[in-house]
Structure 1
């Protein structure tokens, strides 16, 4: 299989100047268009609320903009915090994005792990399991286009999505309850990191219920890639932005909620050791993809407030000096 290229957009690195923040959001949209036109496979969005660092809080809005401006790239939200939405409005909004994108939209349904997000959106934290079940059930019924009973009244939701039988979505989470939920609804299960125990629990529950589904997880070694001709000199420039993103993420740690990337990070040496971000020359990245050492290259050009011009430089270098040559080589081998 040809190596995959993903563009990550999460809008970390909030700029206090609204004009400069507007520039960043416009750049994110234009970068998604560029990725679409230059062979990237997917643009990945995220959702978090009440983040000091400005994490993307409105992924469906941005996804709809990207859908309207692109032709072929898949648009993913990982994870969409579905329990924070009205289920009917969520079904309608996703159906519209699915229609505009002609089936290119997909998402991982999550319920988050931060009580403040529930408080901010008027939801009750202790109800999150029930809210998740109700929301998933409602989405599946709403997207049939047929009447169904909803909170005591029969309703019908339009428009019907482009995708059949519904837009692709996976159930996220890293618990046995999440694995059982995915199996119960006959949906794919996507934990944030591999767990043999959860995989076994999910597959066993699918078999018990005579349901179909599949298990998948992010690939190992899936670090974010920055392209620079001189990585050693780039680290002092880019590290503060990487730290800005990762340090806030680590403050969201919740007891009993396992997450990938929980290690504390305070210095450039921590960054290099943990390899959640890597700064590579184009040649080094190209070699990793050709050898199979790296299956997916995830570009994160605006991470933590990286200046827009610097982000564009890295994105173009990856496209022109890495992705295009690698794809050409794979085409010749076929």
Structure 2
């Protein structure tokens, strides 16, 4: 979620609204609430996904809460294992995440981590998480530890390794973990499966959901586009401003206008009838709604969510 206000009271209202929206979404058939992680963003993009995930899990009973991606290299791995174990216990196994490296050196600087050592940090974190969640003593930086309590999920809370590089694909295979790139990458799938075979391990390649675009349901899409496009543009322009040479990311196309936005396809506005036609049948893919994108006012966000849920029914 993102916001545009410097007023803490306004931001507090947006976070409270996000939690209530998650409760409403669960009651109306939504299967997953997805959170992200960004730091030092001008638009207030969510910097504390585990905190918000805990609040949502405490208020819900069935909906899965996923962080995609959780920048695991920015955390102390023992504390991260403990925090996720508690989320897993309280949520009864409903918490999941995509382990990501991130793509902004500033975030590493802000959290006291080394950008140059990010690959090594990822390897250490993944190994530590898996050992910590085993419930058994293990060696960690020269000392023997046993992390408690153990999560309810066995052998560990569900998570995937994210990334857009051959290194990321091979890393996931080496640990025997699912691999989930943010865009369709048949080349990385082949690398991942080859490395699994070489390591003698089993894994799971998870491609991005078919039709995985941000959907708005509105009975007058023509009128909704100029109303909502400025919020979409603010969010995408903030994202594009973080581009780093040589660091692959999804959705790198720059957008400057409503026309660019519509052509890119990251956001789609449909009326209810067209929405139902698009998402009928087992091959329809995932329908994703982002009701607070780019600082969309809370009242308008509720309208967006309610219409989306009505169309799902």
TM-score when normalising by structure 2: 0.98
Deviation at 1:220, TM superposition (A): 4.0
Q: Aligned residue for 1:72?
A: 62
Q: Aligned residue for 1:144?
A: 134
3-state DSSP of counterpart to 2:29 = coil
Q: Aligned residue for 1:92?
A: 82
Structure 1 segment 103-114 matched on structure 2, within 5 A: 103-114=93-104
Deviation at 1:229, TM superposition (A): 1.2
Question: Is structure 2 residue 172 aligned with structure 1 residue 182?
Answer: yes
Q: Aligned residue for 1:29?
A: 19
3-state DSSP of counterpart to 1:171 = strand
How many pairs are equivalent? 313
Q: Aligned residue for 1:274?
A: 264
Mapped to 1, the partners of 2:4 and 2:223 lie a distance apart of 25
CA 133–196 in structure 1, closer or farther in 2 if over 3 Å, else same:
same
Gaps spanning 5+ residues in structure 1: where?
1-10, 325-334
Question: Which of 200, 209, 215 is the matching residue for 2:205?
Answer: 215
Mapped to 2, the partners of 1:84 and 1:241 lie a distance apart of 29
Mapped to 2, the partners of 1:70 and 1:138 lie a distance apart of 29
Native 8 Å contact 1:228 1:282 kept in 2:
yes
Mapped to 2, the partners of 1:185 and 1:293 lie a distance apart of 31
Q: Which digits, 9 at most, give the CA deviation of each residue in 1:244-267, with x for residues without a partner?
A: 000011111112222221111011
* Greater than 6 Å deviation, 4+ residue runs: none
Native 8 Å contact 2:210 2:285 kept in 1:
no
Deviation at 1:35, TM superposition (A): 1.1
Q: Aligned residue for 1:82?
A: 72
Q: Which digits, 9 at most, give the CA deviation of each residue in 1:128-147, with x for residues without a partner?
A: 00000000000000001111
Mapped to 2, the partners of 1:284 and 1:194 lie a distance apart of 25
Q: Which digits, 9 at most, give the CA deviation of each residue in 1:151-194, with x for residues without a partner?
A: 00001101100100000010111111111110110000011111
The CA RMSD measured in Å over matched residues stands at 1.1
Larger RCO (alpha carbons 8 Å, 6+ apart)? 1
3-state DSSP of counterpart to 1:256 = coil
Structure 1 segment 244-259 matched on structure 2, within 5 A: 244-259=234-249
Mapped to 2, the partners of 1:220 and 1:167 lie a distance apart of 25
Q: Aligned residue for 1:172?
A: 162
3-state DSSP of counterpart to 1:145 = coil
Q: Aligned residue for 2:312?
A: 323
Native 8 Å contact 2:210 2:286 kept in 1:
no
Q: Aligned residue for 2:109?
A: 119
TM-score when normalising by structure 1: 0.92
3-state DSSP of counterpart to 1:199 = helix
Gaps spanning 5+ residues in structure 2: where?
none
Q: Aligned residue for 1:53?
A: 43
Deviation at 1:96, TM superposition (A): 0.2
